[in-house]
Amino acid sequence: MDTVDLARLQFALTAGAHFLFVALTLGLVTLVAVVQTRATFGGRPVHLRMTRFWGQLYIVNYAMGIVTGLVMEFQLGLSWSGLTEYAGNVFGSALAIETLVAFFIESTFLGLWIFGWNRLNRWAHLALIWVVTLTAYASAFWIMVANGFLQNPVGHVVDGATLRLADLGAMVANPAAQVAFWHIMSGAMVVGGFFMAGVSAYHLRKRTAEQDLFRKSLRIGIGVALPATFAAATFGGIGFETLQPTKVAAWVGSAERLAAAQAEMVAAHGPGDYLPSLGWVQGGGYTMLMLWLVMTIVSGVSFLLMLFRPVVRGFRLWHRLLTLMIPVPFVTMLAGWIFREMGRQPWAVFGLLKTSEAMSPVTAAQMRISLTAFVTVFTALIITNYWLLARTARRGPDAVTLGADRPLDTPVPAPTF
């Protein structure tokens, strides 16, 4: 591999790993907020226990996601200084807003939610988790605005050898960002729904305590995952209208479309190879579509099965299947991300800056050292996160420490003022 390929591999591995944390965070925080809403309005202790159990899993994943996100900040400066120097004044504005939203608002309110159990009014505490949820959505939105600019650069002017932001509204309204955001969000709901259903099915199969809690959780998980699969497919289909001509040609794979796309790019940018890798684009796209079909079938059948209480309680084969389905949405999300990002190549900013021009002035030896270091760190983080999530999920609600200053079966009264 040359230096550019090493840098691309490094970013692909680290961005993909971080994306796994983000997908579960977005899906799980929504489910936690919904469950706490039911607990607050209904006052049933089981919903309070559900909130604390799933909330603790969410916190574990969120914390590890923050660490991986911080590591990626270093990578942009180390390996892609050409990109930041050329276009940082434009897409960097979206990243700056995301940082302010994610690290100052989302994390602040999450801290208040974690330590506010039994100290805040129950309505105020409920409001906190919804603020955390909405700011998580806002964080994902601004990331997709930045990525959307790389896919379809709008709202800028050329200022010498760099780009300058001229129209923030145009960049925010970019169809490549708007449609992709809703596609990502619905995909995250699929991830969260299958995660909740799979963990619940594990405990139902093992006949652990809190069977009522896990039966309710399984129904919520499937109830979210099924419509989310259709929403993801809808926005994914709309997203095909925003694809670059070269990506469409690579996806279709016909010689005529490929030749036409190549000729169009040569006419606009001069001689060169402007077609992305057909194998990566088609492999990512077909993997995404096939796994989507699997998830739709499983969630659809599961929705019918969960209408029958004896099946929910004792159909162990179904429980085992749902547990095995936990990693499938993650793989699907990664396949879709590969399709989106590999289809943009050889451009870092489509039509304006090639990936080879976005590189920092580093040697192949330096990139190998950097690649080894980043992959080692991210591998350790993924293993740690998996171990913590699996350990917390297996131990069940009895081991929950979130809000542990009050027994889990004690409703939280609203304090009087």
pTM beyond 0.85: the answer is yes
Q: What is the pLDDT of residue 416?
A: 39
Q: What is the pLDDT of residue 297?
A: 96
Task: Report residue 150 as tokens.
Answer: 């790389």
Phi-psi region for residue 276, left (φ > 0), alpha (ψ -120 to 50) or beta? beta
Q: What is the pLDDT of residue 331?
A: 95
Location of structure tokens 């890798």: 277
User: SS3 of 273, please?
Assistant: coil
Q: What is the pLDDT of residue 282?
A: 95
Identify any residues that bridge with 164 across adjacent strands, giving them in sequence order.
157
Q: What is the pLDDT of residue 69?
A: 78
**Cα dihedral across residues 173, 174, 178, 179: positive or negative:** positive
Walking along the chain (417 residues) 10 residues at a time, the average pLDDT comes out as 87 86 93 94 90 93 82 78 90 87 85 89 93 93 93 90 91 94 96 95 86 91 96 94 92 91 93 92 95 96 88 84 95 94 93 91 87 85 87 85 58 41
Q: What is the pLDDT of residue 417?
A: 33
The Cα–Cα gap between 81 and 92 comes to 12
Q: Which of 407, 60, 406, 399 is nearest to 209 (CA)?
A: 399
Q: How many CB atoms lie within 10 A of CB 304?
A: 10
The Cα–Cα gap between 77 and 211 comes to 49
Q: Which of 317, 305, 307, 314 is nearest to 211 (CA)?
A: 314
Cis upstream peptide for 245 (omega within 30°): no
User: What contacts 3, CB < 8 A, 6 or more positions away?
Assistant: 359, 362, 363, 364, 367
The Cα–Cα gap between 253 and 258 comes to 7
Q: What is the pLDDT of residue 412?
A: 44
Q: Are 385 and 61 in contact (CB under 8 A)?
A: yes
